[in-house]
Amino acid sequence: MENLLKPIYEESASNPDTLGIILIEKKKPDSPITDNFDVILLVIVRSAETEWQERHYQFNDKIGAMHTITDHLLRRWIDTSGYRKAVEWAMAGKIIFDRDAYVSRLKEQLRTFPHDKRDLRKAMEFGKLLKSYTEVRDLYQTGQYKDAFSQMVNSLHYLARLVVIEKGYFPEVTLWDQVKKIDPEVYKLYDELIESHEDIEKRVQLMLLAADFVISKRARVSAKHLLDIMRTKDGPWSYEGIREHPGVKPYELDLTAMLNYLTEKDIIMTDKVETNAHGVYHRHYWFDMS
């Protein structure tokens, strides 16, 4: 198959802006990794007018796709889980062109998963988890048990990605297979929610209690990226000050949920700052590093 595609990828390889080309082949009849294409070509370039371009091909009885993406976009996907399949392609695919060992270095970076990038991803997943878990509680309390069940499944997926990242791995498409090997405790939560013979209301009720304990236990480590940002300033932060910090940008939409939860758990403290309105105060946040 590689030989059939050679004229296509050789054209890309001859471009001085091309940094590397990776080939991913379909391994089984149903292949979510390749979107059921028989082969994927991932072409990484320094820059382009369009950051991501996708072309489809047909040859003999096979179909293929070529994704041409910029290094900048790929790095963003890696850092923020913007497109998880592309990360798996980069990790598991076969190198067929590698300018100045660019792809080899990229694969090594993905294998080691640096702690700073890991902390950012944990904060992102933690924020999504908290927002989703809060929605579960609200739905359960208002008697919307089927919607609460569905949202709880989502919450456990965020939790699963969080524990995978904690262990130094990138979450894969086959997420629960990863979790089963890495964290049996979290896998058991998912298994009990899905496989239990209890009615939906009871399943959600039990899972709310169990998930609350697991989330609380991980809160400080999961929020390390945010807490490290708060360490950089002496004194309390206004909400606007935290939200406008460039490091918070990837999870700014979940920032309120994170601050409320961390305050509730006494990990972050609050101060009241007077306003012009009597009895109304600005709420400021600070992190006790002791």
Q: What tens digit of pLDDT does each residue of 73-123 get?
A: 999 888 887 788 888 899 889 999 999 999 999 999 888 888 888 999 999
**pLDDT of 47 over the 60 cut:** yes
Domain boundaries, position 51: 2-112
Q: Are residues 151 and 261 in the same domain?
A: yes
Q: Is 137 left (phi over 0), alpha (psi -120 to 50) or beta?
A: alpha
CA-based R_g, the chain, Å: 23
Mean of per-residue pLDDT scores for the chain: 91
Which of 1-15, 44-58, 178-192, 233-247 shows the lowest per-residue confidence on average (mean pLDDT)?
A: 1-15
Q: Are residues 71 and 97 in the same domain?
A: yes
Q: Are residues 121 and 230 in the same domain?
A: yes
The predicted pLDDT at position 166 comes to: 93
Q: Are residues 154 and 257 in the same domain?
A: yes
Q: Are residues 119 and 98 in the same domain?
A: no
Which of 114, 2, 105 shows the shortest CA–CA distance to 44?
105
The predicted pLDDT at position 290 comes to: 57
Sheet of 39-45: strand order equals: 52-59, 62-70, 39-45, 18-25, 94-98
Domains in the chain, number: 2
For the chain, count helices (H), then strands (E).
12, 8
Indicate the residue type of 185.
E
Q: What are phi and psi for residue 201, nearest 5 degrees?
A: -60, -45
Cβ-based neighbour number of residue 220 at 10 Å: 12
**pLDDT of 134 over the 70 cut:** yes
**pLDDT of 279 over the 90 cut:** no
Q: What tens digit of pLDDT does each residue of 174-184 get?
A: 889 999 999 99
Q: Are residues 25 and 158 in the same domain?
A: no
Q: What tens digit of pLDDT does each residue of 247-276 get?
A: 999 999 999 999 999 999 999 999 998 888
Which of 286, 290, 236, 282 shows the shortest CA–CA distance to 262?
286
Which of 263, 280, 271 shows the shortest CA–CA distance to 238?
271
Which residues have a Cβ under 8 Å from the Cβ of 28 and sit 6 or more positions away?
A: none
The predicted pLDDT at position 4 comes to: 66
The predicted pLDDT at position 114 comes to: 84
Q: Are residues 15 and 80 in the same domain?
A: yes
Q: Are residues 138 and 103 in the same domain?
A: no
